[in-house]
Every structure is written in structure tokens, then in C-alpha cells.
Amino acid sequence: MIADVLKLFPGITSRDFRILTGIEVGMQDHEWVPFDELVKYTRIDHQNLAYRLGELIEKELVVATTRPYEGYRLYFNGYDALAINALVKRGSISALGDEIGVGKESVVHEGMKEPELPIGDPETVIVKFHREGRTSFRDVKRLRGHLVNKEHFSWIYAARLAAGREYEIMSRLYPDISIPRPIDGNRHAIVMEPAKGELLFKVRLEDPEIFFDMIMEQIKKIYCHNIIHADLSEYNVFVNPEGVQIIDWPQYVTPSHPHAEELLMRDISNIAAHFKKKYNLKRDVDELYAQIVSCTDNIKD
């Protein structure tokens, strides 16, 4: 858990981070990183490296095996520590606070970021830690099309790739699309502005038709940017007095995806079903689909 990492963080030395980084690099090629490989990467002598590894194992940042050889790999806590350290060094976060959301594939914390100039107050930010692959990378690989062509993989690779995809697409869509402003990304973590308002499923709207149209307008604008969200529902749309914001982007696809039509129709249907059930607002999803894809000739790269 992130809370455990934060308790340990002040006691993690630069040498410890070098060891954790060495294991991270080694996990690109090994399920268990051999001790001798770590000696080469860290340039720490055998005795001191063995001692530091023992400390990291005790802190549950690293796990070890002796079969079929002496090897090491990171716990998620160790990977969290690496990402937090990098984000702190870059000034993207200055503090990390309470957990404010958790799902099957991510954990979200509130954080603080110091102003870029030596004036003003710290900025509240959101830090999203991806957790793809923590329980079963095989399931993630089967469900995530962007993983299927990767021959070597680990849970680190799954989480890092998902976070990288999400940060890249958010940077591409912002500010044209109504999403939280992306600030930084490192490994499996993304720093962004907090979404404005409340999640759609939590609120009772006084003008549901207006907000429904706003969401459909965003879906069309997203499509005109050559993107389909591919997992849109009332659980990842925020509403506020000024409009809507859409979150959760790692599974996005483009209109050239073999299941693009099905995924876009599902996004539309999910939102339409929510408004029908909660507000008795009825819309023809086929007509909505036709309106959204009508910008095909104006798709942006």
C-alpha cells in the first residue's frame, strides 16, 4: 500500500534506490533478477549488496528466491517508491496524502505540488498509480489489445505501459477535450489536476438533458480526434456546474481498431442507459452513433 511506502520513504537511501532501479531494469529480461546481475548494475560489492537487499526484503520492497538460483524482484511497494522518488525529484509532487479512490486496476491519492515560482500556495494534485497485472497479467494481456504483441512481460511492464498510454493520450487530448490537465508521468504513476465536480453516478441532476448532450458532444469531439474512449460509463464522467470531464483513458482505441464500432456503440449505450434508468431520458443510440461518426472527414491526427 502507498501508506506503507510513505512510512518507509524517509529511510530509503540513494543506494537503496540504485538497487531498486537495478532490479527494475533486470525484470525486463528476467522473472527473477540474478544476484550477479545486480552486482554489475549497482557496482556495490557482494557483502554490502547482500546486506542492503536483506533490508529491502524486510521492508517488503523486494522479494527473493533461491530456486532455481538466487534472484530478486520488486514488490509493488518497491515500484511505488521508485515512482514517488522520481516525481518528487522533478518537483511534480511535494507531498502525497490520503487514498481517495481504488479500483481493480488503479489506486488514486491526493497530493500537493509546490508552485513553480517561489510565490503562491501549493497546488492540489491527483496521483494515479496503475495496478494492471498485479493479480494476473495473463488476464490483463488478454483484455488489453495494446499488450498482445509483447513477448516478454511482467506486472511492472503492464502497469507502466498502461500509465504511459494514459498519460500520452491525455497530453494529446488536453485542452481540446474536457479532461483533467495532465502534469507528469513516471513509471506506473500519473500526476494530474483533480477532476471538477462529482462522478455522474453519484449525483442527481436538475437538468439531465443538458448534461447528456454535453457528454455526447465530448464523445464526438474525442472521435474527431481519432480516439474512442472504449470504457465510458457513469463511473468515469465527472459533472460540475460548468460542464463535464472524462477520466480513465488507458484502454482507448482508434477508429481503425477491429472492434471500434462495437466499442463506440458501447460507450454511447452505457451513458444512454444510465440517463434512461435514472431520469427516464430516452434517446436513440443508433441516431447518436450516426451523429458522432459524422465528423469522419474532419478527423484530427
The answer to pTM > 0.95 is: no
155 lies in the same domain as 232:
no
- The vertex-276 CA angle with 212 and 176, nearest 5°, equals 20
* pLDDT tier for residue 103 given thresholds of 50, 70 and 90: confident
Sorted by sequence, the CB contacts under 8 Å of residue 265 that are 6+ apart come out as: 285, 289
* CA dihedral of residues 14, 17, 22, 28 (deg, nearest 10): -150
Q: How many C-alpha atoms does 247 have within 13 Å on its Cβ side?
A: 26
In this structure, what CATH number is given to the domain that contains residue 178? 3.30.200.20
At 174, the pLDDT band (50, 70, 90 cuts) reads: very high
Instruction: Kindly state whether residues 14 and 59 are assigned to the same domain.
Output: yes
Domain range enclosing 202: 198-298
Exactly one of 207, 231, 267, 297 is catalytic; name it.
231
Q: Which of 144, 172, 192 is the last residue of a domain?
A: 192
pLDDT digits (tens, 9 = 90+) for 152-165: 457 888 899 999 99
| Same domain assignment for residues 110 and 48 | no
Examine the pLDDT at 135 and tell me if it is beyond 60: no
The verdict on residue 128 lying in a domain is yes
Asked if 131 and 43 sit in the same domain, the reply is: no
Residue 50 included in any domain: yes
Q: What percent of the chain is predicted at pLDDT more than 70? A: 91
Q: What is the CA radius of gyration of the chain?
A: 22
Number of domains in the chain: 3
Q: At what angle do helices 208-224 and 285-292 cross, to 10 degrees?
A: 40
The predicted pLDDT at position 139 comes to 44
Question: Residue 160 domain-assigned?
Answer: yes
DSSP string, 87-132: HHHTTS-SEEEEEEEE-SSEEEEEEEE--SSSSSPPEEEEEEEE-T
Whether 81 is in a domain gets the answer no
Q: Is residue 85 part of a domain?
A: no
Q: If phi over 0 gives left and psi between -120 and 50 gives alpha, with beta otherwise, what is residue 62? A: beta
Residue 80 lies in a domain: no
Place of cell 500556495: 121
> Does one domain contain both 132 and 51?
no
Both 33 and 64 in one domain: the answer is yes
Q: Tens digits of per-residue pLDDT, 215-258?
A: 999 999 999 999 999 999 999 999 999 999 999 999 999 999 99
- Give the CATH number for residue 267: 1.10.510.10
Residues 226 and 257 in one domain: yes
Task: For 27-69, write each residue's pLDDT tens digit.
Answer: 989 999 999 999 999 999 999 999 999 999 999 999 999 999 9
* Residues 290 and 229 occupy one common structural domain: yes
Please tell me whether residues 187 and 202 are part of one structural domain.
no
231 classed as catalytic: yes
CA distance 208 to 8: 47
Q: Is residue 39 part of a domain?
A: yes
Identify whether 11 is part of a domain.
yes
CATH of the domain at 21: 1.10.10.10
In a 3-state reduction of DSSP, which class is residue 61?
coil
210 and 281 fall within a common domain = yes
| Residue at a domain's end among 75, 99, 120 | 75
Do 156 and 218 belong to one domain? no
Of the residues 31, 48, 75, which one is the last residue of a structural domain? 75
CA separation for the pair 64, 254 (Å, rounded): 41
Do residues 175 and 219 share a domain?
A: no
- State yes or no: pLDDT of 142 exceeds 80: no
